[in-house]
Structure 1
């Protein structure tokens, strides 16, 4: 995942401390006041994470004076700025978000949401030149699609939908702890983003992701246009580093199904000196099942028309063999009808994995495996 780079200076705060003053022999007075200034930058608080997190143990905050933290309805959690400031944590259950590094939580977190009424958040820019939001799902469990055989086409019972100017973003549901999203909020200073949770009574056989509770804890980080860690245009997810893992939304080790009507790009930052990426199916999960009710074994290119992933210009061996773009079926393989998974190599930067699913219900034999989506491990190759 991309390291969060805090580049915002929201204000400069001055603390004034009275110190003893005295006169020199020549009659000149030393200053009676010492002024300490610090920027309102990101800080690591003493507030522990609750529930299931994506690897962090404490929450991020913003460095303010104690009075400013109180005025902004933040929670003081430890010191910052060499002890002159307070690490102020912001948690919002619904409504407006006006601070960077704010956590969106369901009412009653870390317990479940008790009332199935819609919850809406409005994300306001903290600086006029903010252009990206990053949503980190430290905890995310709501109702997923009914059943595990894509009998409803992957239609969500509950939904989380993000709307932003000019952005076409997929609705998601189910179990998504550890996932993230980048939201292009646009360059206009007054632009906002809306995050809306909608809930419905569970259908017969519906799954709840990894739990039977509606719980979420989402960190919202804002980035300026000039931040070097911003994703390329069109990337809903952006990974960095030599190796990592890509999962479709609502993909977990338990029984689940992929989500309907997905159309987004997962991007990987190319590291200096590396020109290829190798993808393999996650060994600890049933890592690749897309459109499985009609396809046994692997399918490629024109054999994939409804649910598939796209890795343009990829092949079985790096820079060798026939290039392939689309993959679906019960196995990841460049050979149609192959019954085993193999590695896929992409040497055509920029590195992207397109995720595409329709909203049509699969038809086929009940004994076929669930159409879960995918979990891929990637590593960069020189």
Structure 2
């Protein structure tokens, strides 16, 4: 009888906390925030309703080098991390460029994101705003048809896993607002922090370079652990309103965003857009020496994906055919010669007019509807070399996509 009474009281206490939390929760704080999650690291807005930050306790904000721009929850401070050399371990962190002018250019700015708990398996880095100097190559030389590819030489953004990530993460520059990337982490092997570095060129000696700006959201994503699988029913209702413990996890909320292994980018929605880095509204150019996979969610009812190019303009190896497969990659017997090997690989691809191929380059995907129906994961793979050919544009691509549950191209 005592156990029944205790359970009833505990359930009533839990329900009352939900009600109190709902009353105290502001419109900009919908979601997991409650009176128990003080400084929960979720996104918030400052008092001006336009500047974004993360919800932290005031001492957390000060410790991480942030600036209080408003309030959130009951005791939380909306904290803007618009400084350099910041260290944080919040689930969500938003980093904004410090005030920059010609006198402060030539800046090196670093952010260290430490793993919040052992359930964290990935970090998703969203470039809400990302404008750096574009990639560059050497000036054309008369009678020389080829030169090195477009590289990040003035402004450079790098992500590194401080404990030896085996995956190669590309350096970025140019216009990448709206893009994102994933970083894999593993706390069980002391893989406990990720570092983001900006290195900016001096604007005094190069006044024509654009001003650098960024706003980057980093979200720590949790995978299910053994205990997480048992959070259901009344235990879930009770623990969801309590402070974080080894029995509570946000893995159920994060599962939608968890990327398959080997994917630099991941789009879990059933429809959307994706584009090459520094697509720059079709002006490009894409960055040299890239090699990465962009992946899409494949649920049980999905048989493939439909891709429609809003723009597609890449270099090519040979123009004697239709800019597919062997036209996009040099034969191994002649690899010693400088020849373009830029392409996007789309497995088991077929266009609406019947063209089949896997590697697309030149303008082969322009104005085409492409269905990809592989037996395994849904992905495309982008490869760029370190070579620019005279009069051959390298603007890049932008696709719309829709996952298919009927794999007949219309």
- Report the TM-score when normalising by structure 2: 0.68
Residues 85 and 199 of structure 1: is their aligned pair in 2 closer, same or farther, counting only changes over 3 Å? closer
CA–CA distance in structure 1, aligned partners of residues 400 and 371 of structure 2: 12
Q: CA RMSD in A?
A: 3.4
If each structure's helix is expressed as a fraction of its own residues, which one has the higher value? 2
Once the two structures are superposed, the pairs formed by residues 254-293 of structure 1 within 5 Å of their partners are 255-282=283-310, 287-291=311-315
- The 1:271/1:154 distance shift into structure 2, 3 A limit, reads same
Matched residue SS, 2:274: strand
Q: Is the 8 A contact 1:294 1:363 kept in 2?
A: no
Offset from partner CA, 1:114-161 (integer Å, 9 cap, x none): 321322222211223322111111111111122699954111222211
Corresponding residue of 1:46: 45
Q: Structure 1 residue 108 and structure 2 residue 103: aligned?
A: no
User: For 2:60 and 2:151, how far apart are their aligned partners in 1?
Assistant: 45
Give the structure 1 partner of residue 186 of structure 2.
186
Specify the alignment match of 1:217 in structure 2. 215
Three-state SS of the structure 2 residue aligned to 1:103 is strand
Contact 1:97/1:122, CA 8 A, preserved across alignment? yes
The TM-score normalised by the length of structure 1 is 0.72
**Contact (CA 8 Å) 1:127, 1:189: kept in 2 or not?**
no
- Counterpart of 2:357 in structure 1 is 324
Q: Is the 8 A contact 2:45 2:78 kept in 1?
A: no
Partner SS for 1:302: helix
1:71-110 map, 5 Å: 74=66, 75=68, 77-80=70-73, 84-100=74-90, 101-108=92-99
Deviation of 1:104 (Å): 2.1
1:154 aligns with 2:150: yes
Q: 1:253 to 1:310 in 2, by over 3 A?
A: same
1:314 maps to 2:349: yes
Does the CA-based 8 Å contact 1:69-1:86 persist in structure 2? Answer: no
SS, match of residue 281 in structure 2: coil
Q: Cα distance 1:258–1:68, how it changes in 2: closer, same or farther (>3 A)?
A: closer
Mapped to 2, the partners of 1:48 and 1:140 lie a distance apart of 24
The answer (yes or no) to whether the contact 1:96–1:124 under 8 Å persists in 2 is no
Aligned with 1:238: secondary structure? strand
Aligned equivalents of 2:109 and 2:43: distance in 1? 28
Shift in Å, 1:381: 1.8
Alpha carbons 1:279, 1:378 under 8 Å: kept: yes
Distance of 2:273 and 2:103 partners within structure 1: 30
* Structure 1 or 2: more strand by fraction: 1
Count residues in correspondence.
316
Instruction: Assess if the C-alpha contact under 8 Å between 2:302 and 2:404 holds in 1.
Output: yes
Structure 1 residues 329 and 61: alpha-carbon distance in aligned structure 2, compared to 1, 3 A threshold: same
Matching residue of 2:232: none
358, 363, 366: which one aligns with 2:385:
358
- Unpaired stretches in structure 1, ≥5 consecutive residues: 1-35, 51-56, 333-339
Q: Quote the residue 1:138 is aligned against.
A: 128
Cα separation, 1, equivalents of 2:304 and 2:371: 7
Q: CA deviation at 1:71?
A: 5.9
* SS of equivalent residue, structure 2 residue 280: coil
Partner of 1:344: 370
1:184 deviates by: 0.7
* Deviation, structure 1 residue 345: 0.3
Query: Residue 135 of structure 2: SS of its match in structure 1?
Result: coil
Q: Summarize deviations over 1:149-183 as a string: whole Å, max 9, x none.
A: 99541112222111112221111110001111111
Q: Is the 8 A contact 2:65 2:83 kept in 1?
A: no
Distance in 2, matches of 1:217 and 1:347, equals 36
Are residues 295 and 176 of structure 1, via their aligned partners in 2, closer, same or farther at CA, if it must alter by over 3 Å?
A: farther
Equivalent residues in 2 for 1:202-241 (5 A)? Answer: 212-226=210-224, 227=251, 228=255, 229-241=257-269
DSSP 3-state at the match of 1:216: strand
Q: Deviations over 1:1-50 (max 9, x none)?
A: xxxxxxxxxxxxxxxxxxxxxxxxxxxxxxxxxxx951243544232899
2: CA distance, partners of 1:357 / 1:225: 32
| SS, match of residue 214 in structure 2 | strand
Aligned to 2:116, the other structure's residue is in SS state coil
Per-residue Cα deviation, 1:335-380 (whole angstroms, up to 9, x for no partner): xxxxx631110121411011110112x223x3x4x21111111012
